[in-house]
Structure 1
Amino acid sequence: MPTPPWFLILNGKSAGDDAVRDAVARVRDRGQPLLVRVTWEAGDAERYVHEAIAADAAVIVAGGGDGTLSEVAEALAHTGEAAAALPALSLLPLGTANDFATATGIPVEPLAALDLISSSGARPIDLLQVDGDGAVHWCANLASGGFGTEVTVETHDGLKKMLGGLAYVITGIARLGRIEPIRARIHGEGFQWEGGFIALGLGNGRQAGGGQVLCPDAVLDDGLLELTVVPELSGELVSTLGTLFSDGKHAALEQVAERARLREVWIEAERPMTLNLDGEPLQARRFHVRCEAGRVRMHLPAHTPLLSG
């Protein structure tokens, strides 16, 4: 009986990466069929996911950053099939910040990341479903709004390529003098908040934007999203902004943030605002964010802190 293939859906920016080519060759030399598909334009990831399903693939590897991971996970969710009927998901981290990989402990070295497939079982994980004024998207890691979102969206691709995660820091420093709070009403079961915020996190994962830990207690398989709202700051608290997101357990974040764990959240802003869904900006005045429990299966390190078990 033939060995079920693995499909690597590779972000086109990494197609020439020699370490990736070497890792693919090593896996194939061991007898594991591994097919590579390179994305070039919108819709490629979904098309390749359907190709992988038709080929009875055992695993689909998202080769890229957090955005590529969410794009592949979204394509799997769009099939409507139960997680058990779909190929498992894996990540080959090739992004600038690799926030999801960093938080979960997935190796950034290509061969080690691919070896994780064989050394770990696939576990069901949740996804976030985000409806912004009728446009529905999916997110594997974290949806963020406010200061961190503006930093991520405004950081130039060339700067990210040259400086990596440091590029987000530089852009963040440049924005420190012009942070404008977003006024909104945020509510869910047993939770109500209204006012101006400078940062918002809706976490399946814990960090985004090059290491901003907005949802320090989020886990991937509890059927809940972690909500963190950082209200507008005043007085001496403004001076803590530089360290506020560097460590999710930092006293400054705990002092100012509103936190909750919910199955779904509604956000109603006074004016259109942007949620950053793992690098994909979505603008709307009203959002409904829901946690879809166990929507896909994923290969993760056995001792990752992001699994509840």
Structure 2
Amino acid sequence: MLPVTADDHPTGPHAGGPVVVLTNPTAGRGRHRAVLPRLLDGLAAAGRPVRLLSASSPGEAEAACRTAVADGAGALVAIGGDGTVHLALQAAAGTGVPFGAVPAGTGNDFALDTGFPADPLAAVAVIAEALRAGRTHALDLARMTGVDGTHRWYGAVLAAGFDAIVNERANRMRWPRGPRRYDLAILVELARLRPRRYTLRLDGEPHELDAVLVAVGNCPTYGGGMRICPDADPTDGLLDVVVAGRVNRRTLVRVKPRIYRGTHLSHPLVRSYRARTVELTAEGITTYADGERSLDLPVTITAVPGALRLLR
């Protein structure tokens, strides 16, 4: 549970603006599409105007969120999975605009890790009550910076090893469709598994290591409930870094189920670190943040305390 502090009742230019909603009707294979009117009605019960954003692509969705925030949105609510949340975070981070996440996707790691109920209607009720009370919680976010100066924010976990490579493989495949494509990508990349050379700089301290999996967490989970960084706390101003070293295929297959319980940290080939700033370098890796394709390595990741005002 996130702590309530004295500054959790902000006043300012966002108080009177509309509640702007970004939704992905295909999230979670569309199973919550029929309930969307009830979710919007639940937000309207807070006594504020509600405006649903229109977008036909992720790029348009992110741009629409940025425009809404610039135009004086009183709050920004993402209805969908981690991908929808990730797009909305790019607009809300660092602005003070209150933010809510309604878990309605296949993976809802950020929403659940930050204390929203798993049921979308219950999550909307929590957000509406926070809007009525003018209550928010300060939450950390992670800010990525690429070599060209590009900035991206994420709320949950950055994958920069085997899981990122699998995602990249799956995104290049045209067949099969659905979850089987990801399963096939796992099999292909398991056959090609090899440790890669990483350079980590943790608050300036260098670490050279060979690893097959590297994750940098602001929150504990990714991939729909895998507790890859089980001790990560999005209110402590720190990032948790979990590294699986020279792990072979058999060991990786055995260890991976333990990630759901967060017990993999006890394995002798798994190490964890904690830092405010993480500089991460390796050849040929495209990172995935909140499950979304992000920046190529090298990147610098910084924990930004209080970057988000969470409606809880």
- Among candidates 117, 122, 144, match of residue 130 of structure 1: 144
Q: Deviations over 1:194-214 (max 9, x none)?
A: 122111111111111233322
Question: Distance in 1 between the 2:98 and 2:175 partners?
Answer: 34
Match for 1:152: what amino acid?
N
In the other structure, the counterpart of 1:297 is 309
Match for 2:300: what amino acid?
H
- Among candidates 75, 78, 84, match of residue 59 of structure 1: 75
Q: Which runs of 5+ in 1 are unaligned?
A: 301-309
Match for 1:195: what amino acid?
L
Q: Which moved more, 1:222-231 or 1:154-163?
A: 154-163
Question: Distance in 2 between the 1:76 and 1:104 partners?
Answer: 16
Match for 1:95: what amino acid?
G
- Among candidates 233, 236, 239, match of residue 219 of structure 1: 233
Q: Deviations over 1:18-68 (max 9, x none)?
A: 11122213443674421111322314323334324524x332101222122
Question: Distance in 2 between the 1:59 and 1:263 partners?
Answer: 28
Question: Distance in 1 between the 2:65 and 2:253 partners?
Answer: 47
Q: Deviations over 1:62-90 (max 9, x none)?
A: 1222122122111223xxxx54xx32010
**Using a 3 Å threshold, how does the CA distance of structure 1 residues 236 and 75 change in structure 2: closer, same or farther?**
closer
**Using a 3 Å threshold, how does the CA distance of structure 1 residues 213 and 19 change in structure 2: closer, same or farther?**
same
Matched, 1:103 2:101: no
- Among candidates 145, 148, 151, match of residue 166 of structure 2: 151
- Among candidates 121, 141, 144, match of residue 156 of structure 2: 141
In the other structure, the counterpart of 1:45 is 62
Match for 2:260: what amino acid?
S
SS in 2 for 1:211: coil
Matched, 1:76 2:89: no
Matched, 1:268 2:281: yes
Pairs within 5 Å for 1:1-309:
4-11=17-24, 13=26, 17-28=33-44, 31-41=47-57, 42-55=59-72, 57-77=73-93, 83=95, 86-120=96-130, 121-134=135-148, 135-155=150-170, 171-172=185-186, 175-189=189-203, 191-234=205-248, 237-238=251-252, 240-250=254-264, 253-269=266-282, 271-300=283-312
Whether the aligned pair in 1 keeps the contact of 2:42 and 2:128 (CA below 8 Å) is: no
Question: Distance in 2 between the 1:66 and 1:39 partners?
Answer: 17
Match for 1:291: what amino acid?
A
Question: Distance in 2 between the 1:279 and 1:30 partners?
Answer: 31
Length-normalised TM-score, structure 1: 0.80
Q: Which moved more, 1:25-34 or 1:58-67?
A: 25-34
Q: CA RMSD in A?
A: 3.2
Whether the aligned pair in 2 keeps the contact of 1:213 and 1:248 (CA below 8 Å) is: yes
Question: Distance in 1 between the 2:205 and 2:271 partners?
Answer: 10
Whether the aligned pair in 2 keeps the contact of 1:65 and 1:97 (CA below 8 Å) is: yes
Residue 186 (structure 1) shift: 0.8
**Using a 3 Å threshold, how does the CA distance of structure 1 residues 6 and 160 change in structure 2: closer, same or farther?**
farther
In the other structure, the counterpart of 2:5 is none
- What percentage of residue pairs aligned between the two structures are identical? 24
Residue 239 (structure 1) shift: 5.6
Q: Deviations over 1:255-309 (max 9, x none)?
A: 322211111011222x221211112223534211111111120124xxxxxxxxx
SS in 2 for 1:126: strand
Match for 1:233: what amino acid?
V
Whether the aligned pair in 1 keeps the contact of 2:81 and 2:103 (CA below 8 Å) is: yes
Residue 136 (structure 1) shift: 2.1
SS in 2 for 1:70: helix
Question: Distance in 2 between the 1:13 and 1:105 partners?
Answer: 24
Q: Deviations over 1:180-199 (max 9, x none)?
A: 22211112137432122111
Question: Distance in 1 between the 2:221 and 2:198 partners?
Answer: 22
Whether the aligned pair in 2 keeps the contact of 1:268 and 1:287 (CA below 8 Å) is: yes
SS in 1 for 2:272: strand
Residue 228 (structure 1) shift: 1.0
Match for 1:123: what amino acid?
H
**Using a 3 Å threshold, how does the CA distance of structure 1 residues 44 and 260 change in structure 2: closer, same or farther?**
same
Whether the aligned pair in 2 keeps the contact of 1:46 and 1:72 (CA below 8 Å) is: no
